[in-house]
Chain A
Amino acid sequence: ETGVTQSPTHLIKTRGQQVTLRCSSQSGHNTVSWYQQALGQGPQFIFQYYREEENGRGNFPPRFSGLQFPNYSSELNVNALELDDSALYLCASRLAGGTDTQYFGPGTRLTVL
């Protein structure tokens, strides 16, 4: 077990709607990253938060946004959902101190109809 939890497990939304996914990291993990994993593909980096500020982003549009809270929890928000947003969304956390090791949660499966 990585100590990283995500909710909900599954979610079904309609095109154009908005969604919020949640992640809870272990105490002391002050860096959290979010990834999108399409079926049959490797995870793709969306963005990273460090000390509640976004400090890195992959090739994803601004309608993907996030928040990180002092209690080591975080959120991924996606606006104006598109069919291609259907995927497994993973969060990964890192220990403070500069380690590169990322621990992944079980993911949230999002289906957009």
Chain B
Amino acid sequence: GENVEQHPSTLSVQEGDSAVIKCTYSDSASNYFPWYKQELGKGPQLIIDIRSNVGEKKDQRIAVTLNKTAKHFSLHITETQPEDSAVYFCAASRGGGADGLTFGKGTHLIIQP
């Protein structure tokens, strides 16, 4: 089955700086890669997703890049703000099927004022 590795487990950045979180996946058939933000006591909230036919996608301060050959994808957050502090999860799936999302173990992002 699919295996998703996520790094780092904790990331502390100064407010206004950029943050990058990286994930690798093992199943070459995976073609859907979402990123979720989870705040304390809440369920995961989708912040951006990308499909394997696209190399990069951007939404305001958030961008995701995908390298299918190397089987890795990254989340980039620019101009970080205190409200960006949360746990971020990457995930992968074959898309359109019934095997669910495989998640990484999460990155605790801390924005220092």
Contacts and interface: CB of A to CB of B under 8 A. Distances in A.
Contact-size category for B: 20 to 34
A62 interface: no
4 closest A-B pairs by beta carbon, nearest first, are: A56-B98, A45-B100, A42-B103, A104-B43
A100 interface: yes
A59 to B, nearest CB: 8
B98 A90 contact: no
Instruction: Kindly name the residue among B6, B36, B98 whose own CB sees the greatest number of chain A CB atoms within 10 A.
Output: B98
A43 B44 contact: yes
A100 B98 contact: no
A15 B36 CA distance: 32
B111 to A, nearest CB: 20
B99 A45 contact: yes
A65 interface: no
